[in-house]
Amino acid sequence: MSGELGIVGPAVANETHTIAVDGHPDTRLRVYWPTSVRPEPGATALPVLVYFFGGGFEVADIDWVSWDAIYRQRAADAEVIVVAGEYSLSPEVTFPAQPEQCWSVFEWAAEHASELGGDPARMAIGGASSGANLAAATALMNRDRGNRPVRLQMLEVPVLDLTGGHLDTHDLKVGAPGLLLKRLVRALGRKYLGGHSASLPSASPLLAPSLRGLPPTVIYTSETDPLRGDGEAYVRALSEAGVPVTGMRLIGMTHSSIGVRHEVPAADHLHRDIVATLRTLHDDAVAYPSVFSDGIS
């Protein structure tokens, strides 16, 4: 099917696992290696990127052809192991199942990193849109529960405030008034949250009482995406919390155009920037050792 659609990633080794999640539905993950043959356990010590797809909490999975191609390409180009995590879709399954599933995927990846040919000291967490929300929630949960060393958090066009309070429609030609967009985001959040508060940190990471102790972060936003307000507010909030953070706004881009790199030059540049960022995980030196310090408040 992916070939028929013209969406094909490199022929890299991959395998799928189903894992149990305490108190919630089982979930799947797929491991992608940067080479056509899986390395023997202990033969390599590659960085590991745990990544969550976007789809408004309602669509997509790890079999989605476009996401599969992206995972393959990033693994090959950045020479990292990609662990693509799956989560249940709403409204059939609601919060907090999804952040708990993503936390379980991250924990599985960290615990099995060495046998996968990865390095548990070179972990990264990432996601796009709703997946970026869950990646940010996972990073917070890691800080508060396990505090495993994470070298990078990478969020693409993230939704981080399900109250809609940080939507940015100023000077955007979005074809809809800001009030309507806020209602749409809140309606999407209500279906996902299933009655839970949108102000919980694992639902809206931007509203967490403290962001101290989170890993160095790179956030990509699009100029004509109202959700750029979420991403850019998170850049400011992380910076104020002392977290090393970089924000990049892609001029002229929409929420979804970042995924069409073969048609949009800026999307191709984004891919290359992401690959370059992931390649820094190969560096032996830890750029920001304070990220792993104790005493988070």
Catalytic residues, which ones? 129, 225, 255
Residues 277 and 154 sit within 8 Å (Cβ to Cβ)? yes
Write the burial class of residue 99 (CB in 10 Å: 0-12 exposed, 13-18 middle, 19+ buried).
buried
CA distance 169 to 219: 19
d(CA 129, CA 67): 13
Which candidate, 218, 189, 176, places its Cα nearest to that of 56?
Answer: 189
C-alpha 71/C-alpha 66 separation (Å) is 9
List beta partners, residue 248: 220
Q: What is the DSSP string of 140-209?
A: HHIIIII---EEEEEEES----TT-TT---TT---SS-HHHHHHHHHHHHHHHHTTS-TTSTTT-GGG-S
The answer to whether residues 241 and 268 touch, using CB atoms and an 8 Å cutoff, is: no
Both structure tokens of 56: 């408004």
Read off the DSSP letter of residue 265: H
Of the candidates 205, 206, 216, 218, which has an alpha carbon nearest to the alpha carbon of residue 270?
A: 218
SS3 assignment, position 257? helix
Q: Which candidate, 70, 77, 129, 76, places its Cα nearest to that of 262? A: 70
Which stretches within 241-264 are classed as H helix?
none
